[in-house]
Structure 1
């Protein structure tokens, strides 16, 4: 036989869960948002850095702060690197990586980078992805995706990079594997 305390426990603990599961409140308290699921996009492209070095005619980065500290601590460059779908910088340009990088390590080479990936071609034209992370002496690494606009609204994810075998003294090429989650435009 149920005691009054058992009935109270049922009313306060179990009944709300039963009613929600049965969607009794759906008509009274509808979800105010017409939310879409996140989309997941994987991209593969190449970054072309024409370094600010003597003898590089088409530089796409310039030093704005020079440093006399060991290993260049505090040195900063502004960059406007090319993004392509192939290893050649002269074909299939789909966007640019615009931002800065600064030498943040006092005892080891460690460049902090913050940049915006701006797409100019294809279905992503006009969209952006915000990227930050470190570039050290190792040829491989990973950057964080911290936001975006357009197709990539509310983006988050990662970019894995490796130095390309196609790199030259005047074109430092990095292969990018981009894995991004983003929210599609809301349907009204």
Structure 2
């Protein structure tokens, strides 16, 4: 009888070991422990619709004086300096819509920041939020190196030329789980 109980205990132990060995590595590396932090300052360069070398275009133009209801697409370069000859780090590709009837909160902006620099090529951060002169966007997701990203982007207007050409400083603060961290044993 004792050897049968020992045999069952050993079998249970062996089966438990097999189940645990097939389980996610998250037991040994919970997501929060594997997360990395990104702190990056870049400069968004916006050239509005109708200007030479524009990097946005209005798709729906509102007759409203405050542009309420207007929708534009954009492909804004993110540079290492607030100057047209700055090195391109990434592009913010997306849309913005004037969704504030009073016009005071700016435009609702959502885009995928697609990195082009050597370290993060092809990785993306997905961000959205209102765009007054100074504010924040939420980072809601990411891909590639920035898988499972979350955080904020503080944006500050640093230079504006007659509402035609605009530079915004973007301070990106994100947490992410690099794709090199394998959370499963597939």
Q: TM-score of the superposition, structure 1-length normalised? A: 0.78
Matched, 1:183 2:177: yes
Cα displacement (A) at 1:28: 7.2
Q: Which runs of 5+ in 1 are unaligned?
A: 1-25
In the TM superposition, what whole-angstrom CA distance separates every residue of 1:134-155 from its partner, at most 9, and x where no partner exists?
012xx21000001010000011
Cα distance between partner residues in 2 of 1:84 and 1:46: 5
Q: Which residue of 2 aligns with 1:146?
A: 140
Deviation at 1:50, TM superposition (A): 0.5
Among candidates 35, 38, 46, match of residue 38 of structure 1: 35
Alignment of 1:1-188 (within 5 A): 27=17, 30=20, 32-35=23-26, 36=29, 37-53=34-50, 56-109=51-104, 110-136=106-132, 139-164=133-158, 166-169=159-162, 170-185=164-179, 186-187=181-182
**More deviation in 63-72 or 173-182?**
63-72
CA contact (8 A) 1:118 1:128 kept: yes
Q: Which runs of 5+ in 2 are unaligned?
A: 1-15
**Superposed CA offset, 1:129-172 (max 9, x none):** 00100012xx21000001010000011100001011x4333420
CA distance in 1 between partners of 2:124 and 2:25 (Å): 24
Give, in angstroms, the shift of residue 175 of structure 1: 0.2
Question: Mean Cα displacement is larger for which, 74-83 or 29-38?
Answer: 29-38
Give the number of aligned pairs.
Answer: 159
TM-score, scaled relative to structure 2: 0.78
Q: CA deviation at 1:118?
A: 0.5
